Each structure stands twice: as C-alpha cells, then as structure tokens.
Amino acid sequence: MKPIALNTYDFPELRRAGQVYVDKTAWLHTLIADPNSKFFFISRPRRFGKSLMISTLQAIFEGRKELFEDLAIAKTDYDWEPHRVLRFDFSKLSVKSEKLFDEDLRLAVKDAVQLAGLKEIPPDRRTAGQIFDYAMTRLSQMYGPLVILIDEYDAPISHALTRSVELAEAIRVSLAGFYILLKGCMSSIRFLMATGVTKFNQASLFSALNNIKDLSMDEGYADMLGYTEEELTACFDGYMRRHAERMGLPYETYRAELKRWYDGYRFSPKSFAHVYNPVAIAMALTSKPDETGNADTFEQTWTTTGPTSLLTYSVKRGDLLQIQPDEDLPVQPALLGAVTDLSAINAKAILFQAGYLTLADPKPDRKGLWLAVPNEEVRRDYEALYLNQIVRRPDGEWQSDFREALLKGRPEDALPLLKDLFAGLPYSPTESILEANYRRLMMVLFPGYERRAEEPNSAGKRSDLVLTFPDYVYVIEFKNTATDTADSAIAQIKDRGYAKPYLHSGKTVYAMGLAFDPKDRTLKDAKAERLS
C-alpha cells in the first residue's frame, strides 16, 4: 500500500514520494477548459484539501506533465503549455497590527512575483499594490497570460476578528486595495483560483472580478474536495481492512462506523453528494494501535488539529449557547453566502463555514434549507465546546464525578452535583430558559452514550430524556414552573408509562425528576426512584 501523507499539501512532493493521491484532476481539467469563465472561487472548511488543490493547479499550469502519469487529466487533450504562476498563501500573514499586516503582505507579493520570474522591482514600488501592479504588467509582457492562485484569501480577516472587529475592518480595507488591482489586469490573467473558508463580499475580490464563478455550493463541484465512498474504496481499501481487523469489526460494520464518524459533509442543496473529511480519514487510518495491538475505538482527529479562527470568534461571542447541536436547524440560503457586515456575522453561517454544521438531507415533511452536525467526530467536539462554555470550569473533576455516579447506578451521588452545576450557570437576568435548554445540557454531558430526547412509547407519550448506559437506564422528566416538584415529575413518568420500553431490558431503570426554579434557573428539587 502507498503511504498516506499526514502533513504534505505539496502535490509534487506527494507524487515524488509515491504517497496516496485521491485523483481530483478531472474536476481541475473541467475548470481549466471552461469556455465561459477563467476566474473561480471555492470555500470549504479548514484542512479540507484546498491547499493541495492549489498546489496541483500550480503543477498543471507549470506544465509538469510527468507528475500526472495515470491521473485523469493525463488522459485528456490538455496541451501542458507552461504558464507563469503567482501563488499566494494569505493564511501566513501577521494580523497583530495593521502595520505588520501591510508589511507581511508586501513581502508575500514580492516573493511571489520574484518566484514567477520578475527579478528586479523598481525602488519606487514600495507597497504590495504597487509591486503587484508593476509585476502583472511586466510578467505578462515577458511571458504571456499569467495564472493567479490565492490560498485562504480570507484568512487575515478571520484571524483579525479574534482580536477585534476594528482590526479586521482595517485589514479588510487593505486587502480590498490589493484585490481591486485585479480588475485592471483581467486581460493578463489566463486563470485565477481563490480559496477560503468564508466569502467576505466587501473584500473586493468579488466586486473586482464580478464574473468570478463561485463553486462553493455548485452541484457540479460538491465532491471536488473531500472523499466519496467510491474514492475511499479505490484508494484506501487495504488500510481500512487492516484498521477493521485491529478493531475486531466485520468490514461492513467498520465501514458503517467510519461513515458515522467522519462522513456527512454536504455542500450543495442541489446535490445529494456526501464527502468525508480528508484529514480525518488520513489520521484515522494511520492511527497507531495501543499496547495490546488493538485500536478498538474511533477518535476525534480533524477537530484536534485546532479550530478555525471564525469558530474561535463564534465561541467568544457565545454563539454555541443559542444553537442546539442535537437538532436540525432551518436556515435562509442568503445566510450561507457572502458576509457583508463583520460586526454581525450570523452564527449559523460561521458554524457552516467552519465545518461544524453542514447541509442536512431533504425530508418530505419540511421545506427549504436545513443544517445539521455532519458526523460523530464534529458532534463530540461541538458538545465539548458547548459544555465548556456553559460550565466554565478549568478541570474535568466535576464532570468525571457526575458521569461516574450515573454510570455506576448512584443517582443519589449525581443529583447534588447536578444542583451545583445549575447553580453556577452564567445566564443573564433576562434570558429565557426553556426545558429544551436543560435537556440539551444533560445530553452533552454524556458523549458516546445513547441519549434520546422526546422518545415516544407505544401510547405515543414522549419522555423528556432517556440516558442509556451499559447497566442502567435513566428516564428523566424536566419541570420548569413554580409549582412543580421532583415528585410530580416522577409521577408523570409512571402515569404516562415513559419507562415501560426499558423495564425488561435487563438493565436497572431509574425515574429521575428534575424541577427548576423559573426565576433563578436553579435546580430547586431533584429526586431519583428505582423502577426495576
């Protein structure tokens, strides 16, 4: 089996090393040969293959045909005529201050034009814009139409947002001055591809090139980045079979679990195509077995490599408290497009662009676009972020003690800890708290275990929450009025038969009543009663 690259996003290096490359060149050839457009943009979450795509495009336009043997583009009539390429990676620019950003941008432009063949730059060309403007004219005169590749075009704005909206706005203005120069150079450009996580309308890339084609939600390119089921089988079958054997799972069972953990990204409302996160697959399939030689669980992979700047910004704003990770969310299509106001970025848009929400599959009983958490890996990280934002405790001792109490069938030890938790929640005096908020918090306390909200029984009655553990089941009823008590909650569990589906499961079943004070949001009364 060819080795899997973990930290290589350079196409020539990957090919020379004989590493696995999931062939995406058919899509790239389609773009290059498009008779109607030569300017393209695509947004995808962090570490989703954008940089490797940029590197692959560079190798194609430099005419390095030898690197593409046996790939799809080698079977086409592409002429392999070499072009000069100006490649930029804006994720590396400093945003500590506007001054440092402007200097970093100047150096990045200078390096790019010199690598493209412009050795001498007049001393009066001091700013990034002046250098770029001069270079485009001279390089096109010397070598013909140029190729422009811009990786993470939006990164400086997103990174600056974590510091302040004011800094992000200042950097947006600087970038706009650079991008607007492209408008005067259109005749000198053979091809342009820009990538990013977020489409910032006011960054002027889109106003400068009003004919730029946005591929982000285009059904024809929904699986250009990320891996399909067919690509997994074609490129990683041996690795997956070895991984399944280490985990002690039948291959079909293993594939279903791999899909549940890392698949689920859907980027076009007109396409049913789902893709796996490529970094998650690489990390999962190259994970090392433990000391016994086994790898008996799937783990978080992509989410451990660090959050996108926009997600950090969203957490800082408290957005996760307003969005439930356990329910699909309706969304207006316009919110998933361009961002126009840096001070009012919609939370759903941030989480969609960051890869923490994706387009949900359509259902016959609902209309419009809906968002959902894509897979188990993201769900666990989302819930951990949500829990940390709610609990705000520096250590995991409380959470560990609470989980252990319920896992071992000691609700009498868990209930005081639960009262302690709700006594310290950071709700504002005017914030409306519903039963759903309490249920959501209880659910995220137990990632990896079966959690069912609004579960109907045979009589059509719905319990608030059921937590199922290896040896115990907890049927929980929440009350949120001044007159309710834990006893009345347990009485409702019994009267409506919420626990009946679990009484013959072979597990010990508890009814748990939780009554909250609607004024101060504390857990005023809590009780558990063993039913079987």
Judgement on whether residues 143 and 281 belong to the same structural domain of the protein: no
Q: Which of these, 269, 243, 239, 236, lies nearest to 257 by C-alpha position? A: 243
Q: Are 104 and 81 in contact (CB under 8 A)?
A: no
Last residue of one domain, picked from the residues 199, 216, 233: 216
Averaged pLDDT for residues 322-345: 74
3-class state of residue 386 by DSSP: helix
Q: What is the mean pLDDT of the chain?
A: 86
Q: Are residues 499 and 516 in the same domain?
A: yes
Looking at residue 220, its pLDDT comes to 94
Is residue 271 very low, low, confident or very high in pLDDT (cuts 50, 70, 90)?
very high
Q: Are residues 308 and 168 both part of a single domain?
A: no
| pLDDT exceeds 50 at position 431 | no
pLDDT digits (tens, 9 = 90+) for 215-257: 999 999 999 999 999 999 999 999 999 999 989 999 999 999 9
Q: Are residues 63 and 156 in the same domain?
A: yes
Residue 389: pLDDT band with limits 50, 70, 90: low
Say if residue 237 is in the same domain as residue 373.
yes
Q: Which residue from 153, 241, 139 is spatially nearest to 199, judged by alpha carbons?
A: 153
Q: Could you give the CA distance from residue 152 to residue 403 in angstroms, rounded to a whole number? A: 41
Q: Which residue shows structure tokens 């001054």?
A: 99
- Confidence label for 14 from pLDDT (cuts 50, 70 and 90): very high
**According to the model, what pLDDT value does residue 392 have?**
57
Rounded Cα–Cα distance for residues 359 and 255 (Å): 22
- The mean pLDDT value for 347-362 works out to 88
Nearest CA to 437 out of 426, 216, 82, 134 is that of 426
Beta bridge partners of 189: 146
Does residue 458 share a domain with residue 340?
Answer: no
Res. 453 pLDDT band, cuts 50 70 90? confident
Same domain, 251 and 335: yes
Q: Which pLDDT belongs to residue 394?
A: 47
Domain boundary among 216, 231, 257: 216
Percent of the chain with pLDDT over 90: 52
* Among 292, 307, 497, CA closest to 389: 307
Q: pLDDT of 489-524, one tens digit each?
A: 999 999 999 999 899 889 999 999 999 887 777 888
Please spell the DSSP secondary structure of 477-504, one letter per residue.
EEE-SSS--HHHHHHHHHHTTTTGGGTT
Residue 1 falls within a domain, yes or no? no
Alpha-carbon torsion angle 167, 173, 178, 181, nearest 10: 170
Q: Are residues 77 and 191 in the same domain?
A: yes
* Chain centre distance of CA 338: 17
Number of domains in the chain: 3
CB neighbourhood size of 77 (10 A): 6
| Residue 339 reports pLDDT greater than 50 | yes
Say whether pLDDT at 203 is over 70.
no
What digits encode the pLDDT tens for the residues 173-184? 888 888 888 888
DSSP letter for each residue of 23-52: --HHHHHHHHT-SS-SEEEEE--TTSSHHH
Q: Is the pLDDT at 35 greater than 70, yes or no?
A: yes
Q: Give the domain extent around 234.
A: 222-391
Supply φ then ψ for residue 89, to 5 degrees. Answer: -120, 100
In-domain check, residue 6 = no
Report d(CA 320, CA 408) in Å as an integer.
30
Q: Where does 186-234 show beta strands of DSSP type E?
A: 189-196, 213-214
* 373 compared with 211, residue with greater pLDDT: 373
Query: Which tens digits make up the pLDDT trace of 277-301?
Result: 999 999 999 987 655 555 557 888 8
Same domain? 193 vs 335: no
Who's near 77: CB < 8 A, 6+ residues apart? none
